[in-house]
């Protein structure tokens, strides 16, 4: 199986830092964010190759320079055609594959890829999305009765009413055909593809349970959540 890392975003939320380096190269303990993702993916023996999609004519060139000609890592130029459109340009890479993993580079999580793959197959789905139903809040909460605060809850773990979708997907190569049929210059996986498939019961969910997750959108977010980041990296075995 192959894994695709999307690392071609504009990094708008990470400015001004991302004016100098791509989000994928955000440093964590002296190594770039993307390296933690790559080393974690390599720990699964069924993932044989990693494809990184980025704008190598711009800041993404830093990623290519970092890895050079490393074995089993392939670089593909970002086509600027949306999260779905980019996949059309690597269709030939999945010729002998039935499914592939799609990982947005700003997701840091020790998700059990094997179990996610099992869920994808058991549910006979076109796509399986990583989800979570609880999260630790960054602010304090209060219990209020009749306008009076009776107790404070500092940064509690909250159970979510809806499952939160994370940027890690297991996709069947049938998805490529769905994208082709759109015949659009820009194809967004969530809005243009997943919405309809969910109504057809073709999207499964893999809850990460007690595994931690963080949206590594900027160095500031990573610094503010240093303990969480350290915990996730430990869960990844790195």
Round to whole Å and give the CA distance between 103 and 86.
Answer: 13
Contact in structure between 66 and 25 (CB atoms under 8 Å): yes
Instruction: Report the mean per-residue pLDDT for the chain.
Output: 92
Q: Which domains does the chain have, with CATH numbers?
A: 2-133+162-235 (3.90.550.10)
115: its two tokens: 């179990």
Q: What is the pLDDT of residue 233?
A: 97
Q: What is the pLDDT of residues 67-125, one digit of tens each?
A: 988 889 999 999 888 888 889 889 899 888 999 999 999 999 999 999 999 999 999 99
Taking the C-alpha atoms of residue 24 and residue 47, their distance in angstroms, rounded to an integer, is 20
Q: What is the pLDDT of residue 11?
A: 59
Weakly modelled stretches of the chain, pLDDT under 50: none
pLDDT at 79: 86
């Amino acid at each position: 199986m192959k894994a695709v890392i999307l690392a071609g975003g504009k990094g708008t939320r990470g400015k001004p830092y991302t004016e100098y380096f791509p989000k994928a190269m955000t440093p964590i303990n002296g190594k770039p964010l993307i390296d933690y993702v790559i080393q974690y993916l390599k720990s699964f023996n069924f993932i044989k190759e990693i494809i990184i999609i980025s704008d190598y004519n711009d800041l993404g060139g830093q990623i290519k320079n970092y890895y050079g000609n490393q074995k089993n890592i392939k670089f593909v130029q970002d086509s600027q055609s949306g999260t779905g459109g980019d996949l059309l340009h690597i269709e030939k890479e999945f010729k002998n594959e039935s499914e592939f993993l799609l990982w947005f580079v700003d997701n840091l999580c020790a998700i059990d890829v094997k179990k996610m793959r099992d869920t994808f197959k058991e549910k006979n789905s076109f796509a399986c999305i990583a989800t979570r139903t609880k999260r630790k809040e960054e602010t304090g909460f209060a219990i209020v009765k009749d306008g009076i605060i009776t107790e404070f809850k500092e940064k509690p773990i909250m159970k979510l009413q809806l499952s939160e979708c994370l940027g890690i997907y297991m996709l069947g190569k049938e998805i490529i055909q769905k994208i082709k049929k759109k015949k659009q210059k820009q194809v967004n996986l969530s809005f243009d593809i997943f919405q309809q498939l969910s109504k057809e019961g073709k999207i499964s969910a893999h809850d990460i349970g007690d595994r931690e997750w963080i949206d590594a959108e900027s160095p500031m977010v990573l610094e503010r959540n240093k303990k969480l980041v350290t915990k996730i990296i430990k869960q990844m075995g790195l």
